[in-house]
């Protein structure tokens, strides 16, 4: 485990050394800001149409000044000029945090699932858990400008429980969900993790990413029946009791969990590192996965959240979000729409084991 932690630290430091940075003097004049914008565009390989040049520069100027002003404050998190730096808050929400989870929940009605919570009677959990260290999390992925975050959230949780039960980490196909799970979900127009879990169970499993790779758009038809290869199955899913971070903690101690958050704030758009305590509401707009939690950093407890905006965003594609706040719904509504897949068998076939709480051995030892 120490070797894995060293590797994580090395990769994070390597990433940080390659990030785009700026100096305060570059903010002093229009000319220096313009040169900074061109340097940023070259760094991120961003091309813009000539008729948008002034508009995009003005947006960039606003965002870079916001980053500079925020980072001078004594906050437990920092912002950066990432690849979202020349798009407006409204554009960002529409393209990257526009899955509108709350809207789809209203359309679907009450939560279904199995009706149980298998971790209800857990009486203790480890001080910290990181499923990346346990090999249950694949590399960070990138949904690009498709509102398919719900598929990435679903897949991350299924990849996790499949590794826990079979000891095999398999990267699974978000594109199969985008193309084929269209009875209630709407591809790049958004969706919910709950019907995606139902789809995987009822469909007899989900293909691997290798056999059904991702494209950042709706293909318009399902190709799964024409693709041969490995599938990963689940036995169903359960919901974490709503607005209960303690229950959510019990679930995450046993497996990665799909959650929805309000990810539309400017600070979230430009997040770089640290524990996010920024302003955000409960208008759930984005599906992500909690893959662990930590006890404290600067006295703040946090969730380890895997995003789907690529490894250049945040802490290598992750964000640590404050946990244990007084509001029942959690920071950014993280405890409002949490669910996880059930898998009992140690093979890819769906199991029929009696419904009970089963923890991996290294977690059992600490309960």
Domain with residue 143: its CATH number is 3.90.70.10
- My answer on whether 19 and 125 are in the same domain is no
Structure tokens at 23: 């100096």
Q: Could you list the active site residues?
A: 149, 286, 307
Rg of the chain taking only CA atoms, in angstroms:
21
Of the residues 44, 66, 92, the one at which a domain ends: 92
Give the closest residue to 188 by CA, choosing from 74, 256, 96, 274: 96
Q: According to the per-residue pLDDT averaged within each range, which of 1-15, 91-105, 199-213, 288-302 is highest?
A: 199-213
For the chain, how many structural domains are there in total? 2
Q: Please give the Cα distance from 140 to 135 (Å, whole number).
A: 13
10: Cβ contacts below 8 Å, ≥ 6 apart: none
Q: Is the predicted pLDDT of residue 136 greater than 80, yes or no?
A: yes
Q: Which of 206, 258, 305 is nearest to 99 (CA)?
A: 258
Q: Cα(136)–Cα(142) distance, rounded to whole angstroms? A: 18
Q: Is pLDDT of 272 > 90?
A: yes
Q: Is the pLDDT of residue 259 over 80?
A: yes
- Which range marks the domain in which residue 85 is found? 2-92
Least confident stretch, 9-23, 141-155, 273-287, 338-352: 9-23
Domain finish residue from 71, 92, 113:
92
Taking each helix axis from N to C terminus, what angle separates 193-202 and 149-166, rounded to the nearest 10 degrees?
50
Same domain, 79 and 116: no
The Cα–Cα gap between 32 and 6 comes to 39
Model confidence, pTM: 0.88
- Does 13 share its domain with 160? no
* The pLDDT of residue 157: 98
């Amino acid at each position: 485990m120490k070797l894995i932690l060293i590797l994580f630290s090395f990769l994070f430091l390597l990433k940080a050394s390659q990030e785009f940075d700026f100096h305060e003097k570059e903010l002093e004049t229009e000319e220096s800001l313009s040169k900074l914008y061109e340097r940023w565009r070259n760094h991120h390989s961003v091309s813009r149409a000539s008729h948008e040049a002034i508009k995009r520069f003005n947006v960039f100027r606003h965002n870079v000044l916001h980053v500079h002003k925020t980072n001078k404050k004594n906050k437990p998190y920092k912002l950066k000029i990432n690849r979202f730096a020349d798009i407006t808050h409204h554009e960002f929400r529409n393209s990257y945090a526009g899955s509108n989870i709350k809207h789809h929940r209203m359309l679907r009605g009450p939560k279904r699932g199995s009706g149980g919570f298998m971790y209800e009677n857990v009486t203790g959990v480890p001080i910290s858990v990181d499923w990346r260290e346990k090999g249950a999390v694949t590399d960070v992925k990138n949904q690009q400008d498709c509102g398919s975050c719900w598929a990435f959230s679903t897949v991350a949780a299924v990849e996790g429980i499949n590794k826990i039960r079979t000891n095999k980490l398999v990267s699974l196909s978000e594109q199969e969900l985008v193309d084929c799970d269209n009875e209630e979900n709407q591809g790049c127009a958004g969706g919910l993790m709950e019907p995606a879990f139902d789809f995987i169970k009822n469909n007899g499993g989900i293909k691997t990413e290798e056999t059904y790779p991702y494209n950042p758009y709706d293909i318009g038809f399902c190709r799964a029946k024409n693709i041969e290869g490995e599938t990963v199955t689940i036995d169903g899913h359960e919901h974490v009791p709503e607005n209960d971070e303690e229950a959510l903690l019990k679930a995450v101690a046993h497996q990665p969990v799909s959650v929805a958050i309000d990810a539309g704030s400017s600070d979230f758009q430009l997040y770089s590192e640290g524990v996010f305590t920024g302003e955000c509401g409960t208008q759930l707009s984005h599906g992500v996965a909690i893959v662990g939690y930590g006890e404290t950093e600067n006295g703040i407890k946090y969730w380890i959240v895997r995003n789907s905006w690529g490894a250049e965003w945040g802490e290598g594609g992750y964000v640590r979000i404050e946990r244990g706040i007084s509001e029942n719904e959690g920071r950014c509504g993280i405890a409002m729409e949490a669910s996880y897949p059930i898998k009992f068998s140690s093979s890819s076939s769906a199991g029929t084991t009696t419904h009970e709480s089963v923890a991996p051995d290294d977690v059992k030892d600490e309960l």
